[in-house]
Amino acid sequence: MALDRKAPNDLNAFWMPFTANRQFKKNPRMFVAAKDMHYTTSDGRQVLDGTAGLWCCNAGHCRPKITEAIQKQAAELDYAPAFQMGHPVAFELANRIIDIAPKGIEHVFYTNSGSESVETALKLAIAYHRAKGQASRTRLIGRERGYHGVNFGGISVGGIVNNRRHFGSLLSGVDHLPHTHLPDQNRWSKGQPEHGANLADDLERLVALHGAETIAAVIVEPVAGSTGVILPPKGYLERLRAITKKHGILLIFDEVITGFGRLGAPFAAQYFDVLPDMMTTAKGLTNGVIPMGAVLTTADVHDAFMDGPEHMIELFHGYTYSGNPIASAAGIATLETYREEGLFERAAEIAPYWQEALHSLRDSRHVIDVRNMGLIGAVELDPIAGEPTKRAFSAFLAAYDKNILIRTTGDIIAMSPPLMISRAQIDTLIGTLADVLAKLE
Ligand SMILES: Cc1ncc(COP(=O)(O)O)c(C=O)c1O
């Protein structure tokens, strides 16, 4: 028996992800309930959610329609095999996703997370070219500071040093574009920064170096989140699209955080009016409630596989839980909640207020940059000399004590509240953060 624990509710067994485990377990921060814009802590406090969980609860918490859909589906059809069998709910959700996707995106391949969506898209890109008779196109291009989840493909094309350096040699045949964070030129950007579109031209250099006939795909986050919010300079994504098209390279937008309304449009592809060949999604697809991801593709990508004898499997890829009935039901209820409450439009409408509130922090202590887009905001702090990340982590802990949830990466505070946030709640979030910064060492 392994139940001889030192204390009830012992915290030892759970090895927490992306967490300072020893620090946490000495002084745990526990949420025990949530409703709309707030979490309830184990000591009975209401904490305002400034991050939509992990950029995923775009409709707010414990929304009745989603809860009911999950309960009903669990009682009706709990699971159906996803290989060679189907159930109507997954087909219906795919149609509903395509209804809000950019024109030209026509197919949905289900996964269970952002990381799995990325792996799926990268594999699809290589297999697509092979199906089209261009098997030499196997190289994948990512970007410095990019975050594409934590699996081997994702960390290979990703560019966050700590997510890569501990894990061996990663995938071969990968190269990286430069990131677009140019603080000296773009500090205090409101929306798209002015400078940096030329950084897309680096793809021409990689094409010249490797040969276009070796490159399968370029993957970028339209707006990078996990690295600390990096916004695409004006004209940058358009130029990346033009160069990829010119050389027959697929363009993948990783929309795991930008999908489902974060910028005030269903997807970043619509917000920037740039159509990629594939989009990776997860998080807001089910409001974060049940794990589910999806890769969205054009007909061109999909149709390349629809060849050969009809009894043959066209793509040797998929997950036991692809299109799981309960996740699919949660997805439909989530999309209905977004639509019925006009949450994407609401995000667009409140974004200017959010922008002005955020930029009021410009003169706060230690702040060296503020930038924003849609309902995303970043406040970059001057790091403590020799102790990177410590200042922002202290801000996070102090903010939690003052009943607001923010997120930090490096010395950057990132915020991405549920799309239902009110003006008064924006004032509370930013006002409390201003207090925290005023007292921060
Ligand atoms: C752009 C992007 N891609 C992929 C992921 C990974 O998603 P998941 O944690 O669901 O695997 C994330 C998560 O934050 C993300 O921001």
Q: Evaluate whether residue 186 is within a structural domain.
A: yes
Separation CA 258–CA 280 (nearest Å): 10
Which whole number is the average pLDDT over 300-325? 97
Q: Structurally, how many domains does the chain consist of?
A: 2
- Spatial contact of 50 and 417, defined as CB atoms under 8 Å apart: yes
Together in a domain, 94 and 212 = yes
pTM of structure: 0.97
**Sequence letter at residue 211:** G
Residue 6 predicted with pLDDT over 80: no
Residues 76 and 154 in one domain: yes
Q: What is the CA radius of gyration of the chain?
A: 22
Which residue's alpha carbon is nearest to atom 14 within ligand 1?
226
Query: Which residue out of 283, 376, 408 has the highest number of ligand 1 atoms within 8 Å of its CB and is therefore the one to mutate?
Result: 283
Positive or negative: CA dihedral 362, 366, 369, 373: negative
Give me the pLDDT at residue 44, please: 95
- Find the 309 Cα to ligand 1 centroid distance in Å: 36
Residue 7 lies in a domain: no
Which pLDDT score, from 0 to 100, does residue 2 have? 58
Q: Letter for the amino acid at 410?
A: G
Region 243-258 average pLDDT: 98
**Same-domain check for residues 239 and 385:** no
d(CA 222, CA 210): 24
Please indicate, yes or no, if residue 11 is contained in any of the structural domains: no
The answer to whether residue 133 is domain-embedded is yes
pLDDT of res. 29: 95
CATH number for 152: 3.40.640.10
Q: Is the pLDDT of residue 4 over 90?
A: no
pLDDT, tens only, 317-344: 999 999 999 999 999 999 999 999 999 9
Please indicate, yes or no, whether residues 266 and 135 belong to a single structural domain of this protein: yes
311 with 365, same domain? no
187-244 residue pLDDT tens = 999 999 999 999 999 999 999 999 999 999 999 999 999 999 999 999 999 999 999 9
Enclosing domain of residue 176: 67-340
Closest-lying ligand 1 atom to the alpha carbon of residue 149: 6
pLDDT tens digits, 69-102: 999 999 999 999 999 999 999 999 999 999 999 9
- The binding-site residues of ligand 1, defined as CB within 6 angstroms of any ligand atom, are 113-115, 118, 147-149, 221, 225-226, 254, 256-257, 282
Residue 160 domain-assigned (yes or no): yes
Q: Are residues 308 and 428 in the same domain?
A: no
Residue 361 placed within a domain: yes
Cα(411) to centroid(ligand 1), Å: 20
Distance, CA of 232 to chain centre: 15
Output the average pLDDT for the chain.
97
Nearest to 223 by CA among 416, 383, 354: 416
Q: In the prediction, which pLDDT does 392 show?
A: 97
Domain boundary among 320, 340, 360: 340
| CA 115–ligand 1 middle distance (angstroms) | 6
In a domain, 397, yes or no: yes
Report the residue among 119, 252, 256, 407 best suited for mutation to probe ligand 1: largest number of ligand atoms under 8 A from its CB.
256
- Which atom of ligand 1 is the closest one to the Cα of 224? 1
Same structural domain for residues 334 and 400? Answer: no
- Is 335 in the same domain as 350? no
User: How close is the Cα of 232 to the center of ligand 1, in Å?
Assistant: 18
Distance from the alpha carbon of residue 226 to the mean position of ligand 1, in angstroms: 8
CATH of the domain at 55: 3.90.1150.10
